[in-house]
Chains A and B, each alone.
Chain A
Amino acid sequence: MKDVFKKPDSFYEFFTRSAGVDKEATHYCPGCGHGNLHKLIAEAIDDLDIADRTVFVSPVGCSVFGYYYFHVGNVQSAHGRAPAVATGIKRALPHSIVISYQGDGDLAAIGANEILQAANRGESITVIFVNNAIYGMTGGQMAPTTLIDMKTTTTPYGRHAENEGYPLRISELLATLQAPVYIERCTLEDSKSIMKTRKAIRRALELQIANKGFSLIEVLSPCPTGWKLDPIDSREWITKNMLNVFPPAVYKDRADAPSRPTPPTPVYDGDEVLKIIGIKESDAAHVAKLPADFPTHKLVLAGFGGQGILLLGQLLAKSSMREGKFVSWLPSYGPEMRGGTANCHVVVSRERIGSPFVTNPTLLVAMNQPSLEKFADSVEPGGLVIYDSSFVKDVKLPAHVKAVPVPFSEIANDLGNAKVANVVAAGTIIGLTGITGADSFKSLLGSLRKELLDANLKALAAGLAEARHFGAMSNQPSVKATVS
């Protein structure tokens, strides 16, 4: 004789994970809709032969114990977060079939944003949304789907629109989105409607198998305990009270949508990883023998945003790094960034660098008037101030610093491009301080914008020439670098 009562294979034979004594019955109350639904899902998983690759996500609510019953991969999640958790799973396991099984409090209240966004992204997951108009597990409090005038433990006088708003119609809401492929509202009020629900669940899963995208089946489900009704009356209660507020229908059907593209396979091969990231053995990286008297250079570079000040600092740091020196580069950070001026701190040393902050620079490069005014007084006694005399006209400096005016911007303009003023400045800095070799710096110019290479090379040479000019005018600082 055919065993018509056989449990689906994707149910556990015995519910050994259950905390209860009875390992054969579910923890659900008599007449609860979860039992029907679980069976419909398990049979669909069997018939579609997807048990091995199915991952069942159960968040907080009566269905939190989905893992007692479903013999598939199970992930239990926080209240309302199942669509986000399901997203993480599906992205990591594109081949998997992910079912998110959520109640109305979970999905429509605390998790309303997660479901909205997962639906809008068109995540290829299937959501079973159990709507019983009440918080079942926590003892019958109001849900977003609680009906008007319905009494719950937190609406003891009935739900009133002026206080709690109206029942939330999730299927209708999500159906306004472009991405979802299938949204249907079903009910469990009688055998006929259960068979319709059965069909809807299969359709949703088939669409996921075809990787079409997001599907949601809302199921009006009885909660005899929460409603304080017997199982038979509960079914009738759905028919009488819920159907007019939550009409069963197919709200969205884009079964003809194209399948979503298969995501690429992640690369784990180490050599391939380095290649893709773009890390090369650096040819220039060598630890030079630095002279013992190589001083620690502490630079403040400042100017207008757009003058390439931050880049100038980075290039000086990078060039010095390639010579085996310790370097740090720190941009202005915080509200300053939005003030129209940009500055950065650069430290270059033969020793490990402690503080990357430069409070008393050995060199201030001021590319505009405000920068000179802001930082001039902080320069270390004996320090150097190099400024762009194209912009800085009013020069008041402390007596203990040495000033070098160079019209960087005018020189850059003469070279045909105002953008290379920062490299002119680099030439002068290098020439006057020896912070890095001109050759090391020059080798970096190729990595900048190609169309500026010629102008940059000329700019560097021009800047170095300015340094030589000042070096010749005074005994120190001496010219320490030349371009080969």
Chain B
Amino acid sequence: MRQELMKGNEAIVLGALLAGCRSYFGYPITPASEIAETAAVMFPRLGGTFLQAESEVAAINMVYGAASTGQRTMTASSSPGISLKMEGISYCAGSELPCVVVNIMRGGPGLGNIGPEQSDYFQMVKGGGHGNYRMPVLAPNGAQEMCDLTMLAFELADKYRNPVALVADGFIGQMMEPVNVPNPVRTFPDKPWAVKGTGDTRDSLISSIHLDHNELEDHIRHMYAKYAEIEKNEVRFEEYRLEDADYVTVAYGIVSRVLMSAVDQARAAGIKVGMLRPITLWPFPAPRLKQLAGHVKGILVSECSTGMMVEDVKLAVECRVPVQFYGRNGGNIPSARELYDAIVKLTNTVGS
């Protein structure tokens, strides 16, 4: 057994290295800088590249360049920095370049603050960059998942030739928890499409231009066929005490940790409530929510935002069941007590 007590941010770097990522291009921003600092220590030890770019814009384009060669590569930032990376992410998606982008979300809009928020949900899940594309978005809620899901992110990125995002917040990044260190990836997928500076890859072309309208439409259809596969194969979520639940709560990331405690308290008070925690924000666990909506009495969604994921929950349940929302903003996290009260309110307002 290989177990280490580590911070979520360190676990991301560990996961990246175990997944065979050998280049990191970053730009400092609180609360994501620790990832860059850890990468700066670790990547060179493995003969990899760590480079502090001149901007987030440059960093994602360096990722674009490294990904063009088939190397597993990544960048990490926090909300305002991710806004700057969106151009590059769109290009990566259009050019079908596998790469991993980490967003340790902070308070916005604008400069906001460095407190934890989940208000980049729309940006990460619904697009953010221009054009027709999707990006798998993984949402760890502890140090172990920071490592495991980073590894998964690289796997999915290569499998579907697409950028993959990992979203967390300052608390998940700073929190130390035991991490059972996974085995390093030992075999890597072949990438004949990459530009490798070799005779047999002289015909490789990395590009997102399709001047001809029909050609671009075909390309988008091709990408969306791929996205349909992702929606079919890659939905991940966790169910907590849902077996006999009359009420479902939904949260991801740090809020799901607090909600878990609130669910325990509510259970202790005799309320049959459970939690569904999306691990992939896209593809969203809509089918499972729809199923649950068929027999539960009410759903509570909690986020550190003004209500973003709640829209996906509402879409998923198709008005079969009342959906309530409890959110905090500005760097505040709902307490277990607040969420317990929100659960009680749900049971009171939708009947039992």
Closest Cβ of chain B: how far from A335's Cβ, in Å? 8
Q: Is B115 an interface residue (CB 8 A)?
A: yes
Q: Is the CB of B62 within 8 A of A78?
A: no
Count of A-B residue pairs with CB < 8 Å? 236
- Please list the residues of chain A having a beta carbon within 8 angstroms of any beta carbon in chain B: 17, 19, 51-55, 57, 64-65, 67, 71-78, 81, 84-93, 95-97, 113-114, 116-117, 263-268, 270, 273-274, 276-277, 279-282, 285, 314, 317-318, 321-322, 326-331, 333-335, 353-357, 359
Instruction: Note all chain A residues with C-beta closer than 8 A to B70.
Output: 92
- Among residues of B, the one whose C-beta sits closest to the C-beta of A117 is B54
Q: Is the CB of B2 within 8 A of A91?
A: no
Q: Indicate the member of A51, A73, A274, A280 with the most B CB atoms within 10 Å.
A: A73
Q: Is the CB of A77 within 8 A of B197?
A: no
Q: Is the CB of A113 within 8 A of B58?
A: yes
Complex partner residue of B335 from A117, A285, A353, A359, CB under 8 angstroms: A359
Instruction: Note all chain B residues with C-beta closer than 8 A to A354.
Output: 257-261, 263-264, 336
A279 to B2, CA, bound (A): 7
Instruction: Note all chain B residues with C-beta closer than 8 A to A357.
Output: 258, 333, 335-336
Known: A277-B14, A333-B174. A318 touches B5 (CB 8 A): yes
Known: A76-B208, A355-B258. A88 touches B174 (CB 8 A): no
Q: Is the CB of A88 within 8 A of B91?
A: no
Q: Is the CB of B91 within 8 A of A77?
A: yes
Instruction: Note all chain A residues with C-beta closer than 8 A to B201.
Output: 73
Closest 5 pairs (CB-CB, A-B): A88-B65, A96-B197, A354-B260, A354-B261, A73-B195
Q: Indicate the member of B69, B88, B181 with the most A CB atoms within 10 Å.
A: B69
Q: Is the CB of B88 within 8 A of A87?
A: no
Number of interface residues of B (CB under 8 A): 89
Q: List which B159-207 residues lie within 8 A (CB) of chain A.
A: 170-171, 174-178, 181, 183-186, 188, 195-199, 201-207
Q: Is the CB of B2 within 8 A of A282?
A: yes
Q: List which B108-127 residues lie within 8 A (CB) of chain A.
A: 113-116
Q: Could you name 23 residue pairs across A and B whose Cβ atoms are closer than 8 Å? A: A52-B197, A52-B202, A74-B204, A75-B65, A76-B206, A87-B62, A88-B73, A90-B65, A267-B46, A267-B47, A273-B17, A273-B46, A274-B184, A277-B18, A279-B2, A281-B1, A282-B1, A285-B1, A318-B5, A333-B31, A333-B116, A334-B170, A353-B177
Instruction: Note all chain B residues with C-beta closer than 8 A to A89.
Output: 65-66, 68-69, 195
Q: Is the CB of B62 within 8 A of A64?
A: no
- Among residues of A, the one whose C-beta sits closest to the C-beta of B95 is A76
Instruction: Note all chain B residues with C-beta closer than 8 A to A78.
Output: 61, 64, 87-88, 91
- Among residues of A, the one whose C-beta sits closest to the C-beta of B259 is A354
Q: Is B63 an interface residue (CB 8 A)?
A: yes
Query: Which of B19-27, B227-235, B287-295, B314-322 contacts its partner?
Result: B19-27
Complex partner residue of B184 from A87, A95, A270, A317, CB under 8 angstroms: A270
A282 to B170, CA, bound (A): 28
Closest Cβ of chain A: how far from B99's Cβ, in Å? 10
Q: Is the CB of B58 within 8 A of A84?
A: yes
Instruction: Note all chain B residues with C-beta closer than 8 A to A280.
Output: 2
Instruction: Note all chain A residues with C-beta closer than 8 A to B202.
Output: 51-52, 71-73
Q: Is B212 an interface residue (CB 8 A)?
A: yes
Closest Cβ of chain A: how far from B267's Cβ, in Å? 12
Beyond A92-B65, A317-B176, A329-B5: 18 further Cβ-contacts under 8 Å?
A53-B197, A73-B196, A78-B61, A84-B53, A88-B68, A92-B69, A93-B197, A277-B42, A282-B1, A282-B3, A326-B178, A327-B178, A329-B177, A331-B174, A334-B115, A353-B257, A356-B175, A357-B258
A279 to B5, CA, bound (A): 12
- Among residues of A, the one whose C-beta sits closest to the C-beta of B203 is A71
Q: Is the CB of A321 within 8 A of B3?
A: yes
Closest Cβ of chain B: how far from A101's Cβ, in Å? 14
Q: Is B222 an interface residue (CB 8 A)?
A: no
Instruction: Note all chain B residues with C-beta closer than 8 A to A281.
Output: 1-2
Known: A285-B3, A321-B3. A113 touches B55 (CB 8 A): yes
